[in-house]
């Protein structure tokens, strides 16, 4: 079974408060996009990398990618996440695909391998982190409600998410394009296929707000010390 890795880099990330795409920001002298690409390409089971970028940023994405030792293709994404995911999956040649947010620059190798193994066994697999904090709703007036939300079974979902290529291609092609999709497993679950889970990793952080950049610098130093 061959594995294609797909980096979704077409989003804008407006909560970061920057004019440029957040995956083009520099962390420790290397772009977020390049960090994520290198992490995926380091897996000996990944045979190709597909970067999905917006039409106006295809050249920027290409210029930021270092030599990776595997074939790399850059394809144009769409308006919504599902459109970009479908473009990447359509371009993939592997039996399995890993769909990964380019805004997660440091997916550990052990995590990537867990997702691939889970996908081989089940056809669809996502990494998750159990929620350990107390959850409580806040009313419109800003005050907390008295009863906590039951967190039993609740998890935070990460990427990369792994799928059999033909399965996710069919599921994405049937997804209602007018309904936003926050992760790729949504299309699989809507398609009626169960999705397995494996443990995620706390270092697999996603850059969303300016405050996340400080954590990313610490994570980059950790990666470089290995």
Q: Is it true that domain 3-225 has CATH number 3.90.550.10?
A: yes
Using DSSP, state whether 30 is helix, strand or coil: strand
Global pTM reads: 0.92
What are the structural domain ranges in the chain? 3-225
- Give the separation between CA 44 and CA 3, rounded to whole angstroms: 10
Q: How far apart are CA 175 and CA 172, in angstroms?
A: 5
pLDDT in tens, the chain (226 residues): 999 999 999 876 565 556 678 999 999 999 999 999 999 999 999 999 999 999 999 999 999 999 999 999 999 998 889 999 999 999 999 999 999 999 999 999 999 999 999 999 999 999 999 999 999 999 999 999 999 999 999 999 999 999 999 999 999 998 866 677 889 999 999 999 999 999 999 999 999 888 777 778 777 777 765 5
User: Could you give the CA distance from residue 14 to residue 85 in angstroms, rounded to a whole number?
Assistant: 20
| DSSP tally for the chain: helices H, then strands E | 7, 12
SS (HEC) of 121-175: HHCEEEEEEECCCCEEEECCCCCEEEEEECCCCCEEECCCEEEEHHHHHHHHHHC
CA distances from 139 to 48, 134, 142, 144, 150 (A): 48, 16, 5, 6, 17
């Amino acid at each position: 079974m061959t594995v294609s890795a797909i980096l979704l880099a077409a989003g804008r990330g407006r909560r970061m408060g920057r004019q440029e795409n957040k995956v083009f920001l520099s962390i420790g002298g290397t772009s977020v996009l390049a960090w994520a690409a290198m992490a995926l390409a380091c897996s000996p089971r990944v045979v190709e990398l597909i970067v999905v970028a917006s039409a106006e940023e295809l050249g920027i994405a290409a210029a930021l990618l270092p030599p990776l030792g595997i074939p790399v293709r850059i394809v144009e994404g769409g308006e919504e996440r599902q459109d970009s995911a479908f473009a990447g999956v359509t371009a993939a040649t592997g039996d399995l695909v890993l769909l990964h947010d380019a805004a997660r620059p440091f997916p550990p190798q052990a995590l990537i391998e867990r997702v691939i193994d889970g996908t081989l066994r089940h056809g669809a697999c996502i990494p998750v982190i159990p929620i350990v904090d107390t959850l409580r709703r806040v009313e419109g007036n800003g005050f907390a409600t008295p009863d906590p939300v039951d967190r039993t079974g609740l998890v935070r979902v990460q990427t990369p998410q792994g799928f059999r290529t033909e399965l996710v291609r069919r599921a994405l092609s049937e997804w209602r394009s007018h309904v936003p999709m926050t992760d790729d497993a949504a299309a699989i679950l809507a398609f009626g296929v169960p999705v397995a889970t494996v443990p995620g990793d706390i270092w697999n952080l996603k850059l969303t707000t300016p405050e996340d950049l400080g954590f990313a610098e610490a994570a980059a130093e950790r990666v470089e010390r290995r």
